[in-house]
């Protein structure tokens, strides 16, 4: 594997973790950072001074702030920026991407305005110069960077590309499965973050296990409803990108989306959360984009809509809970039948 080269665009927590993962396999990995401080810290001390400074990056990882240098010669380009920065970064690296080089999105969200999934954004910007794929699952960067056993799914429309990328990322501590449901995997990644914010709000209010389990289960139901309507495979929602990532994001101390919900329920704001953590909680944006996607297609997502109302419309968390609990009762599997009538 030593002859392979990877470009990881984005030196945040997830980008750093993936660079550690690939570098540990001996893959020559260039980690692109916006900040000179981060790039210099990695180059001089083998550590990212902002994210996981206790983790030593392998010698096979180098850093740069030059996008052309980062992408040139790469066999695989990995985009690890927040979802709303994907278009901008794709426009910057597109001129230097060699024909046929796969691009793998790690971002979890829908683009504001267009409501495009991330592979749709990448395809629109970079054209038909090579395959697109997405990687998603219960993968907290803090744990992946330390080599704690984790699993994930790589979704590509071309099964052969999926297998190639599976083997590219696979390590003894990072097990990778393939899936050809790109739509479902990407929608899972966007929508589960909103449910995690709801779970955090429940924690912040002081509710218990019953409430969180109910939110997670009904959240998965509404995730599946939207995915089914948009052509996703409903079984994807039972897998790593769906249920697996939902469990991790709603319950973990590492989850920034869960933490955002808890912070807001305690009287904080999205701005104060960012000032405190310097991290983007994708669920805050997805509460809007996923809700808008649902409205566009006439799909009912009550939890998503209430999270949006709390974050952006000043609705009290307890009032949002009351709105959910007093809705007209329906069949549990409403809108989730797997076979069309």
Q: Give catalytic residues, as residue numbers.
A: 192
Angle separating helix axes 302-312 and 317-325, nearest 10 degrees: 160
Q: CA 126, 163, 69: angle at the middle one, nearest 5? A: 40
Q: Are 287 and 311 in contact (CB under 8 A)?
A: yes
Q: Which residues contact 305 (CB under 8 A, 6 or more apart)?
A: 291, 294
Distance CA 246, CA 195 (A): 8
Order of strands, sheet of 76-79, starting from the edge strand that comes earlier in the sequence: 61-64, 28-32, 5-9, 76-79, 103-105, 132-136, 150-156, 174-179
Strands 5-9 and 76-79, sheet pairing: parallel
DSSP secondary structure code for residue 5 in this structure? E
């Amino acid at each position: 594997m030593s002859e392979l080269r990877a470009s990881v665009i984005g030196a945040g927590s997830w980008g750093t973790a993936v660079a550690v993962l690939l570098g540990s396999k001996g893959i020559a990995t260039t980690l692109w950072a916006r900040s000179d401080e981060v790039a210099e810290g990695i180059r001089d001390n083998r550590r990212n001074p902002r994210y996981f400074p206790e983790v030593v990056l392998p010698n096979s990882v180098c850093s740069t702030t030059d996008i052309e240098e980062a992408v040139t010669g790469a066999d695989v380009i990995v985009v690890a920026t927040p979802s709303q920065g994907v278009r901008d970064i794709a426009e910057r690296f597109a001129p230097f991407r060699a024909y046929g080089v796969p691009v793998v999105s790690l971002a979890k969200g829908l683009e504001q305005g267009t409501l495009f999934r991330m592979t749709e954004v990448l395809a629109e910007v970079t054209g038909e110069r090579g395959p697109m794929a997405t990687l998603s699952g219960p993968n907290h960067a803090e744990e992946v960077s330390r080599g704690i056993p984790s699993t994930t799914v790589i979704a590509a429309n071309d099964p052969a590309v999926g297998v190639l990328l599976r083997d590219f990322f696979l390590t003894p501590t990072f097990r990778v499965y393939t899936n050809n449901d790109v739509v479902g995997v990407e929608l899972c990644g966007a929508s589960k973050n909103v449910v995690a914010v709801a779970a955090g709000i429940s924690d912040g209010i002081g509710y218990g296990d019953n409430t969180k389990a109910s939110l997670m289960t009904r959240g998965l139901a509404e995730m599946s409803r939207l995915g089914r309507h948009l052509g996703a495979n409903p079984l994807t929602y039972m897998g790593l990108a769906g249920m697996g990532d939902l469990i991790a994001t709603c319950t973990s101390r590492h989850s920034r989306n869960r933490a955002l919900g808890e912070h807001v329920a305690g009287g904080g704001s999205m701005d104060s959360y960012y000032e405190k953590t310097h991290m983007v909680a994708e669920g805050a944006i997805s509460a809007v984009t996923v809700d808008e996607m649902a409205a566009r297609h006439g799909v009912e997502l009550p939890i998503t809509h209430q999270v949006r109302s709390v974050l952006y419309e000043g609705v009290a968390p307890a009032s949002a809970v009351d709105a959910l609990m007093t809705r007209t009762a329906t069949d549990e599997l409403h809108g989730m039948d797997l076979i069309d009538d």
